[in-house]
Structure 1
Amino acid sequence: IKKVDGIPWRSIGLDHTGPYEENGDRAKFLLVATDLLTGAIDAEVVGTTNSMNLITAARRIFARTGQPNTVHSDRGSSYVSAAFRAFLIKRNIRQRFAPPSSPRYGGKWERSHGPLNHHIRILRSRGE
């Protein structure tokens, strides 16, 4: 992956992680945004991984981090949906997909799941 420029949060990877059970309620997921320049992450809780929840969570993340120039993701159904593509096009954000059968392509943002899940387990074991 080439860096767009030296400004954080201009080129990001998006991915869902989960499910996480919430006090016996329906499972929740996280939409995780990873800055491809610094490796910093931001996340939003979503009820499902559908395209409308993806768009809502992406709006919230972009409000905190600034709008990216490029979004990288896998080819999950919510990322290839017409609704998400229209959301990105309206904002002049380029979309880049991991090539088929190339799991290493998304390694920079996929790696953030391990430490994130570790900290979630610690917090949940404390009842937080």
Structure 2
Amino acid sequence: MADLPGVRITEALPFQHSGCDYAGPFILKERKTKGYICLFVCLVTSAIHLELATDLSTDTFLACLRRFMSLRGKCSQIFSDNGTNFVGAKRALDEMQQLLSSQEHQRNLTRSLANNGIKWSFIPPHSPHWGGKWESSLRSVKLHLRRIVGKSGLTFEQMQTLIAQISAVVNSRPLCYTPDTDLNYLSPAHFLIGRPFTTVPEGDLTHLPINRLDYWQNLQSMYQGFWKRWHQEHLTSLQQRQKWSNKERNIAVDNVVLVKDSNLPPAAWIPARVVEAHPGPDGLVRAVKLKTSTSQF
């Protein structure tokens, strides 16, 4: 297993480096239309932001993106799945695959974000584990949705309210424990609003003399304390690697491999030849370019 990428372990503002993914479809009551959840996850603080999308089009996604950045601030880099990661999924995900793997969608998206100075990066196809950060966040969201909604349909307004409440629940989850008496755990909410979502805000201090308040220094000290705990408690917990601990021989150019495809019928196989190998910073190859009898990817 590779080292964590630099954007995961470098202190940054919430959502400056984000991952993006879709969940759904969900049936909405209005005319039995489909709805989708567009998820954005901060790669540093693990905070999430959810937007409700009414269809799978580039314009609708860009609208979700504008709403997200209007509330959370502009990103410098966004990572997402390549559409071919959905190959072999259920039929319900076919439309999602068509959108995300569309060259026109990727071209329009990249051009639109480049105008705002935002870099968009796609993970390699057929490699969903490269996007484990947003996959695990989506799993948490779907778990709450299944428990609450089940098979019943909701109106657009009800679904909008529900996903806002779900994002608050997920953002209040503890990232790590700390023995501090005032703050015994650290959550994504601390980086978003300076306290857990379940904490009652402080009382009104406007009646106190101004010379008794040192608000911004206290606020800055508290914010730096959150990051200190993030470095000391949370970041160290990410160093453990539970799988792929044994080194294997590197895949090299001209190696012949089999492509795993869940859509293939039994006893059908796709052989491919490695035409390019892309080693990581540690010299190990985790991404390659393959050539089959019909295409390259």
2:11 corresponds to which of 6, 9, 17:
6
- State the TM-score, normalizing by the size of structure 2: 0.40
Aligned ranges 1:24-35 → 2 under 5 Å = 25-35=32-42
1:122 corresponds to which of 147, 172, 189:
147
In structure 1, distance between residues paired with 2:100 and 2:59:
8
Partner of 1:59: 66
2:137 corresponds to which of 112, 117, 122:
112
Kept after mapping to 2: 8 A contact 1:50/1:78: no
2:22 corresponds to which of 16, 19, 27:
16
Q: Which runs of 5+ in 2 are unaligned?
A: 84-98, 159-297
**Secondary structure at 2:130's aligned position in 1?**
helix
In structure 2, distance between residues paired with 1:32 and 1:63:
15
Deviation of the 1:10 alpha carbon: 0.7
In structure 2, distance between residues paired with 1:114 and 1:100:
20
Deviation of the 1:27 alpha carbon: 1.2
For these two proteins, the number of residue pairs brought into alignment is: 128
Q: Which structure has the bigger radius of gyration? A: 2
Higher share of residues assigned helix: 2
In structure 1, distance between residues paired with 2:82 and 2:119:
15
Aligned ranges 1:34-49 → 2 under 5 Å = 34-49=41-56
Q: After superposing the two structures, state which structure 1 stretch, 94-103 or 114-123, moved more.
A: 114-123
Q: After superposing the two structures, state which structure 1 stretch, 38-47 or 22-31, moved more.
A: 22-31
Deviation of the 1:65 alpha carbon: 0.9
- State the TM-score, normalizing by the size of structure 1: 0.88
In structure 1, distance between residues paired with 2:54 and 2:11:
34
In structure 2, distance between residues paired with 1:87 and 1:43:
21
Deviation of the 1:124 alpha carbon: 2.2
Deviation of the 1:59 alpha carbon: 0.4
In structure 2, distance between residues paired with 1:20 and 1:45:
10
Q: Which has the higher contact order (CA 8 A, sep 6+)?
A: 1
Letter in 2 for 1:109: W
Higher share of residues assigned strand: 1
Moved beyond 6 Å, runs of 4+: none
Q: Which runs of 5+ in 1 are unaligned?
A: none
Give the CA RMSD over aligned residues: 2.1
Deviation of the 1:2 alpha carbon: 2.4
Aligned ranges 1:60-99 → 2 under 5 Å = 60-76=67-83, 77-78=99-100, 81=105, 82-99=107-124
Structure 1 vs Structure 2: percent identity of aligned residues? Answer: 24
Kept after mapping to 1: 8 A contact 2:110/2:119: no
In structure 2, distance between residues paired with 1:114 and 1:103:
14
Deviation of the 1:66 alpha carbon: 0.7
